[in-house]
A and B are shown apart, each in its own frame.
Chain A
Amino acid sequence: KNEVEQSPQNLTAQEGEFITINCSYSVGISALHWLQQHPGGGIVSLFMLSSGKKKHGRLIATINIQEKHSSLHITASHPRDSAVYICAVILNYGGSQGNLIFGKGTKLSVKP
């Protein structure tokens, strides 16, 4: 079983829709990242969370440490939001060197 599970794997939305991508993990973590990868490959970090909620523009990320779950929300989605969204966790023990464990990604396509 993967330690980090994302759902859905693929998501198609119409422009303007509210989008939610979910991430569940089975291990103790010290923080969680949401990453965005556009076609062509480059990955950028959207959020890093260890508790609560963060907002940046139309993007909102939440985390519930007790339930081992995080969500990424996109309000008023736009075709330029089309990308792969990746959840990655940092284990909370020192031996991991703080390395990331990745989910398999959610491919989002927003149609005009």
Chain B
Amino acid sequence: DVKVTQSSRYLVKRTGEKVFLECVQDMDHENMFWYRQDPGLGLRLIYFSYDVKMKEKGDIPEGYSVSREKKERFSLILESASTNQTSMYLCASREPGLALYEQYFGPGTRLTVT
């Protein structure tokens, strides 16, 4: 079974703090993704990575950065957390290649910025 794990299920941070969200997958997948999910907006892609040290911006990259130093680990960084980054964050991984490979999701991290 593919397993995608995220470092925390719930996280509370203060405005201005630097926040790290970690994601690890155990299936040697090349592609990894970070999404945020907000009520009424659905899932939106923040960043994705198709290989170690490779990254691409998604639809809403502003205020975020990512790091992929090892194939199994993809980190999302909030350089200076703001209240509008309060959200559910979901990580996913997938085999490379287009279209037909399903994405495997982690359990999500519910981040609250106060």
Q: Which residue numbers of A lie inside 8 Å of B, CB to CB? A: 30-31, 33, 40-45, 48, 50, 86, 88, 90, 92, 94, 96-100, 102-105
Total residues of chain B contacting the partner, CB 8 A = 30
Interface string of B66-93 (1 = CB under 8 A from A): 0000000000000000000000101010
Pair A31/B48 contact, Cβ less than 8 Å: no
Among all A-B residue pairs, the 8 with the closest Cβ atoms? A41-B108, A98-B98, A104-B42, A43-B105, A30-B99, A102-B43, A45-B102, A42-B107
Check A86/B42 contact, CB under 8 A, given A48-B102, A98-B99, A99-B48: yes
Q: How far is the CB of B103 from chain A (nearest CB, A)?
A: 7
Residues of B with C-beta under 8 A to A105 = 42
